[in-house]
Amino acid sequence: MKHRLDAPFLEMGFYFAGMPDADAFATIARTVLARGSRFVGAAGWRGPNKRAQPFTSIRGDELREPFSIDANHLQEALVDPNMRIMEISFDRIIGISNAPERLEYVSVFSEEASLEDHHPIAVLAEGEPFSGPHDPERGRKPGKRVYEAFRELVTSFLPSYACITVERATECPTDLHRDPRGFSEDFFISRDFVGSRELDVIAGWFDGAYQEPMRNGLYISTYQHWNPRRVGMDIQKSGLLATEVGRLIGQRRPSRPMGSSP
């Protein structure tokens, strides 16, 4: 197995509106471990109270350093107040790559978002079967794994919303408020986050796409390889509809900087 993933990258991005970033990261990591993935390595930052320290810029204050921890001590590291784990490599998470797949913070967000919003967390894998010239068979088997992993992860920890993308990051509400065109055409969205009426509106917008209730929300897929019925939708139409969902999510951005007093 190779040591590093090759581009293009497939991302599953998860956003949690009501959970501190480090707790959300730990929740996903524990779920991945519970699914049978094997820990390979981790990297991040060390320092007093680093785990709860807010991001102060897009890239953070320092480079990530590899952590000398093993699988037996990963659970302790996830809650260590003086460690901020920024990425974890597992032998597999989705199981479609020729290198360890990663759990990491989304690295593409604005300066405003770095200070004021929660940060999406991504599962990163190789996305080659879903890029390049259209091939109806090339993405069938890995696409089934993507769908199954996404469904299992979402129903395990119930994010506010989650996306599947290739070479595109999942954006937080602050950045979607600035430009809603960054939202994905394949996504889960929680009823608790947007409300019942808005969720019904979204379902109506995507009439004809694949739709599946998942616990307290709805999964919508417009790409044939990421749903079990192989349902697709015109890419221009789905892009316009996704922009409207991004606009709706952007209206739910935090109203005050993270960590400030009410």
Q: What is the pLDDT of residues 182-222, one digit of tens each?
A: 999 999 999 999 999 999 999 999 999 999 999 999 999 99
* Residue % of the chain over a pLDDT of 70: 94
CA distances from 27 to 79, 128, 154 (A): 11, 28, 11
User: Is 0.75 topped by the overall pTM?
Assistant: yes
Q: What is the pLDDT of residue 57?
A: 60
What average pLDDT does this structure show over 34-53? 94
Tokens read off for 204: 């109506």
How many other β-carbons are positioned within 10 Å of the β-carbon of residue 110?
16
Beta bridge partners of 164: 12
CB within 8 Å of 142: residues ≥ 6 apart:
96, 129, 130, 225
Between residues 135 and 200, which one has the greater pLDDT? 200
Model confidence band, residue 109 (pLDDT cutoffs 50, 70, 90): confident
CA distances from 151 to 163, 169, 201, 231 (A): 11, 19, 22, 16
Upper half-sphere CA count for residue 22 (Cβ side, 13 Å):
19
Residue type, 222: T
Beta bridge partners of 88: 42, 103
Q: Are 65 and 43 in contact (CB under 8 A)?
A: yes
Tokens read off for 83: 């460690």
CA distances from 47 to 52, 105, 260 (A): 11, 18, 21
Tokens read off for 145: 């794994």
Q: Are 31 and 128 in contact (CB under 8 A)?
A: no
Nearest alpha-carbon partner for 210 in 146, 147, 140 = 147
Nearest alpha-carbon partner for 117 in 51, 18, 25 = 18
Model confidence band, residue 110 (pLDDT cutoffs 50, 70, 90): confident
**Omega into 257 within 30° of 0, i.e. cis?**
no
The dihedral formed by the CA atoms of 121, 150, 79 and 75, expressed in degrees to the nearest 10:
-140
What span, in angstroms and rounded, lies between the C-alpha atoms of 69 and 113? 31
Model confidence band, residue 60 (pLDDT cutoffs 50, 70, 90): low
Residue 68: enclosing H or E segment and its boundaries?
none
What span, in angstroms and rounded, lies between the C-alpha atoms of 180 and 230? 27
Model confidence band, residue 83 (pLDDT cutoffs 50, 70, 90): very high
Q: Where are the beta strands (DSSP E) in the chain?
A: 9-15, 39-46, 65-67, 83-90, 101-105, 121-126, 161-166, 187-190, 210-214, 217-221
Residue 124 sits at φ, ψ, to 5 deg, of: -115, 130
